């Protein structure tokens, strides 16, 4: 096995240990992010059905006026948790294993760039490149959770409240 294959296999065995209960997570940040992503996926799939791929739906979300407004509001309200999460993603960027390049946020005001990095964290996680035992991976997953959670809160809570739908 190559070094890269060995690394991926160690990720596979770590996640398998989590799934079977043989290994405990320090907290549930990964599972909160996974559950949140399912909700987020539903939102952008419903909103942008004409987009031909998940990546295209993410790009559409990043250009959506309502999402850009939610992002600007979150940045403008002295939301240090949201801003800090973006700073964590932007600090070193996120590696794209397909292109072998580090992707970076060039402008925190640009939602497209922010959600692109959140999507990269999601892709790395879903394709076996993020593990709970790695502190940096944990920080990236937690930061991604904070960003998506804040955007979702601003986008879905007001319509749900107006329609009388339960939020939980």
Mean pLDDT, contiguous 10-residue spans, the chain (168 residues)? 74 67 70 86 88 94 96 90 96 94 96 97 91 90 94 80 59
Q: Report the candidate in 111, 119, 3 with the shortest Cα–Cα distance to residue 62.
A: 111
What is the b/e burial string over 2-23, where b = at least 16 CB atoms within 10 angstroms of the residue's CB? eeeeeebeebeebbeebeeeee
Which one-letter DSSP state was computed for residue 27?
Answer: S
Can you tell me which residue has the tokens 């804040």? 150
The pLDDT of residue 122 is 96
Helices (H), 77-134: 80-92, 111-126
pLDDT of residue 18: 67
Q: How far apart are CA 67 and CA 125, in angstroms?
A: 24
Count of CB atoms situated within 10 Å of the CB of 163 = 7
């Amino acid at each position: 096995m190559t070094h890269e294959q060995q690394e991926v296999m160690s990720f596979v065995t770590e996640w398998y240990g989590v799934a079977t209960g043989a290994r405990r997570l320090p907290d549930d940040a990964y599972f909160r992010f996974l559950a949140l992503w399912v909700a987020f996926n539903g939102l952008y799939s419903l909103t942008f059905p004409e987009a031909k791929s998940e990546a295209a739906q993410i790009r559409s979300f990043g250009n959506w006026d309502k999402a850009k407004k939610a992002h600007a509001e979150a940045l403008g309200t002295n939301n240090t948790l949201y801003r800090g999460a973006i700073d964590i993603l932007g600090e070193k960027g996120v590696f794209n294993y397909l292109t072998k390049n580090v992707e970076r946020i060039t402008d925190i005001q640009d939602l497209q760039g922010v959600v692109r990095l959140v999507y990269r964290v999601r892709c790395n996680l879903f394709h076996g490149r993020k593990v709970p035992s790695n502190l940096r991976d944990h920080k990236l997953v937690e930061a991604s959770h904070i960003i998506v959670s804040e955007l979702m809160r601003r986008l879905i809570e007001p319509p749900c409240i107006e329609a009388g739908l339960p939020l939980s």
